[in-house]
Structure 1
Amino acid sequence: MKLLIVEDEFALADALRDRLQQEKYEVDIAEDGITGHERAMSDTYDLIIMDGMLPGMDGVNIIWEMRKAGHKTPVIMLTARAGLTDRVKGLDAGADDYLTKPFEVEELLARIRALIRRNHGPEDNLLEVGNIQLDRKNGAIRNSQTGTDVTLSGKELKLLEYFMDNPGQVLSREQISLRIWGHQDTVEYNNVEVYVSFIRRKLKFLRANLQVKAVRGLGYRLVEDVSNG
């Protein structure tokens, strides 16, 4: 797998490259927006790690240009800004995920693995965790042991896909709201609760050995329940 890091903080970029190479990734670095744009538009990378603020051309505009040109390379945006608006701009431009600096490298690695699984899995339309198979194309989930299936609404599909792409990882209400609705307010937070309850009911109906568990003060995570299924 070949990755591109677009980051003007060379010490950070160099440290990330060393760690990623330990994980057997091939890594290139671009230290400014112009070079990053040229390399990103080459469409030769499996994933791009993109800083939001860059000299020459900022990361949001690079991502926007990529998507406008039809490039589908997954992008994780890095930002030193904690403000919601900047994250929304990145996701709206076409970023697949984001991390706010400072971040733990292990979390970045987990997100890289999730995006690569999503984009380079053996069967892109089918995602499987525990005894549940999610069919992205047909918008349905199936118990692989019993054959029982159930259809999902569009947002239910996006939400369960997000959980299944990140099994065991705590996803905050803010992350879920940004991923599913693209923005955040009181109504969207309520919607997160509602759609989590929808997902739980359908998993229970299918006798899934998966549960969406609340983590107090943090969010939700998808875990396997070995006592079921």
Structure 2
Amino acid sequence: MSKGKILIVEDERKIARLLQLELEHEGYETRAVYTGLDGFMLFQQEQWDLLLLDVMLPELSGLEVLRRVRSIDNLTPVILLTARDALPDKVSGLDLGANDYITKPFKIEELLARIRVWLRQSMVQKETPSSICIGDLTINEKNREVERAGQSIALTPKEYDLLVYLVQNQNQVLTFDQLLSNVWGYDYYGDTNIVYVYIRYLRKKIDTPFSKPYIHTVRGVGYMLKE
């Protein structure tokens, strides 16, 4: 029985074939295509459990494919593959809705571990109720809409992921490392600045316009969301 169905979009055919062989050896069903346009077309035609997406692709860039994927599907995990490791590239991908980011060259064991993590989280997400509520804050997970006190709040994909993780662990202190590994992925281990930045963005949208804050700082440790 297949562990999951994974679409590989990678223009370097040797890498794509290696990924296919390793993933199929682990029990996954795979397809590989070599252009961004072919990748997006195949993504629309079939149901996938996870997308491995190279950033540098012919016809459509990986980031453009990601943008189009997220316009029609907010749930399928996407892991970006790229030779570039600059922070702006990572932030761009994550803001467009990527779940994780791995820089070439990478060890297949690390990629397999990340795939297992995101497939587990995707399964949990599919099994949880479509709406999460805390006080006057409501998150509709099916369409990724957020409201507070009846007002719609527009969040970027990564702001949304951060909020959902905080709400799912409400009344618990979440350390910087927990937030990094569960919201941004392992490439960001130790980079607490990105946590500060996104907590600030999120507070401006869900706390500042209202009288009662939900996100609380636990000095020197991390953050906690509570009513």
- Using structure 1 for the length normalisation, give the TM-score: 0.62
Q: Which residue in 2 is equivalent to 1:139?
A: 167
Q: Which residue in 2 is equivalent to 1:206?
A: none
User: In the alignment, does 2:21 pair up with 1:18?
Assistant: yes
Unaligned residue ranges in structure 1 (runs of 5+):
127-135, 142-149, 184-193, 203-229
CA distance in 1, matches of 2:168, 2:5: 32
Q: Which residue in 1 is equivalent to 2:142?
A: none
Matched ranges for 1:107-146 at <5 A: 107-121=110-124, 124-125=127-128, 139=167, 141=169
Percent identity at matched positions? 33
| TM-superposed deviation, 1:118 | 0.3
| TM-superposed deviation, 1:165 | 8.6
Taking a change above 3 Å as real, the CA distance of residues 18 and 158 of structure 1, as seen in their structure-2 partners, is: same
Is contact 2:35-2:58 (8 Å) kept?
A: yes
| TM-superposed deviation, 1:172 | 1.5
Q: Which amino acid aligns with 2:221?
A: S
Matched ranges for 1:27-46 at <5 A: 27-42=30-45, 44-46=47-49
Q: Which residue in 1 is equivalent to 2:171?
A: 151
Q: Which amino acid aligns with 1:116?
A: L
CA RMSD of aligned residues (A): 3.7
Unaligned residue ranges in structure 2 (runs of 5+):
130-163, 200-217
CA distance in 1, matches of 2:72, 2:198: 22
Taking a change above 3 Å as real, the CA distance of residues 81 and 59 of structure 1, as seen in their structure-2 partners, is: same
| TM-superposed deviation, 1:80 | 0.6
Is contact 2:82-2:102 (8 Å) kept?
A: yes
Q: Which amino acid aligns with 1:100?
A: T
- Using structure 2 for the length normalisation, give the TM-score: 0.62
User: In the alignment, does 2:67 pair up with 1:64?
Assistant: yes
Q: Which amino acid aligns with 2:178?
A: L
CA distance in 2, matches of 1:138, 1:165: 10
Q: Which residue in 2 is equivalent to 1:84?
A: 87
Is contact 2:55-2:82 (8 Å) kept?
A: yes
Q: Which residue in 1 is equivalent to 2:189?
A: 172
| TM-superposed deviation, 1:124 | 4.8
Taking a change above 3 Å as real, the CA distance of residues 180 and 27 of structure 1, as seen in their structure-2 partners, is: farther
* Aligned length, in residue pairs: 170
Runs of 4+ deviating beyond 6 Å:
none
